[in-house]
Amino acid sequence: MQTTRTDWGRRQPPIGGSSFELQAWFFMRVSGLVLVFLAVWHMFIMHVFNDTLNLDYEFVAARWETPYWRAFDWLLLALSLLHGTNGLRVVIHDNIADKTIKKLAHSALYGTSLIFFIIGTYAIVAFVRQV
């Protein structure tokens, strides 16, 4: 006998679960909004107002002489990595059905992001002009 479902698209919301997904959703909106300014401004400075053909050691050294640009670059690094990591977390969740592989992919993602966050932060904080 065929049972007829009439509740399509009206799944019960989980009761008593954590609010992590809601917070992640909210974070994507807030960080995305900030990144529209940070990332697009960064792209325009590097690729439109200047030309990457002129990009050299001196350019970066002069930029990082002001703490303002170090702070700008670090905020861009942190937000884009977090925004990208959460985006990929959802992409992995949606596209990998196998639970073990999903867990492995998530672990690899978090590990990679953490390492690159440390490398990037170290470069911005520890840079000292050599010439």
The residues that touch another protein, with contacts defined as CB under 8 A, are 4, 29, 32-33, 35-36, 39-40, 43-44, 47-48, 51-58, 60-61, 77, 80-81, 84-85, 87-88, 91, 112, 116, 119-120, 122-123, 126-127, 130-131
Q: How far is the CB of 70 from another protein (least distance, A)?
A: 12
CA dihedral 106, 11, 25, 32 (to 10 degrees): 100
- Contact assessment for residue 76 and residue 42, using Cβ atoms and an 8 Å cutoff: yes
In the chain, what is the straight-line distance between the N-terminal and C-terminal CA atoms, in Å?
Answer: 81
Nearer to another protein, 103 or 129 (CB): 129
Q: How far is the CB of 129 from another protein (least distance, A)?
A: 10
Nearer to another protein, 12 or 95 (CB): 95
Structure letter (DSSP) for residue 54: G
Nearer to another protein, 15 or 88 (CB): 88
Q: How far is the CB of 113 from another protein (least distance, A)?
A: 9
Q: Strand, coil or helix: what is 13?
A: coil
Q: How far is the CB of 124 from another protein (least distance, A)?
A: 9
Buried b (16+ CB within 10 A) or exposed e, 71-106: ebbeebbebbbbbebbebbeebeeeeeeeeeeeebb
Nearer to another protein, 94 or 98 (CB): 94
